[in-house]
Copies of this chain bind each other. A is one copy, B any other.
């Protein structure tokens, strides 16, 4: 049985939760809050003390993008991680954006504005302002970030953009991004997370 260490409101956890749900794999979710992440037991499992952490038998994987890369290669090779060098590159591009601009932009702003964490908020706002027009323009011309179908690029990049209201950003200003996150929420087996607007929402 797969164990997913995470927390209900963590967008990084949700990347993996979506992948597991879409794959139809059963998993056991273990609530790992800030205190648990500081424990020695958790540090022994993962040196950065971050969630999500994925454990399946003897296999332990950290980093949400890296867990998605494993699930894609094992369960949806090509389809989820790219059939051609060009598709692989396009997917890697959005995994980079998820790891950098999204994590240090909208995700960091959400930590500050919804959860009150002390982060360099001006920097996060600048990263966000630089990045959002790029992905908005990209999604004006297509339904999915890479190729013509859902890939791990969409799973990695979408949670913190779907949750942008938590970061003090108005989704109405970013209609292509908003349409794409609703498209993902409309997929069969999509797992709910508080704050991600689905088909019934505006």
Contact = CB atoms under 8 A, between A and B. Distances in A.
Contacts of A45: none
Interface stretch (A29-37, A57-65, A165-173): A57-65
B65 A92 contact: yes
A123 B48 CA distance: 16
A193 B77 CA distance: 37
B92 A69 contact: yes
Interface string A23-52: 000000000000000000000000110000
Interface stretch (A1-9, A97-105, A109-117, A176-184): A97-105
A134 interface: yes
Residues of A contacting B: mostly: helix
A70 to B, nearest CB: 4
Nearest to A104: B104
A151 B186 CA distance: 38
A149 interface: no
Contacts of A130: 48
27 contacts: A47-B137, A48-B130, A59-B86, A61-B89, A62-B93, A63-B92, A63-B93, A63-B97, A65-B95, A66-B89, A66-B96, A67-B89, A68-B92, A69-B91, A69-B92, A70-B86, A70-B88, A70-B89, A70-B92, A73-B82, A73-B89, A81-B88, A100-B100, A100-B104, A104-B104, A120-B120, A120-B123
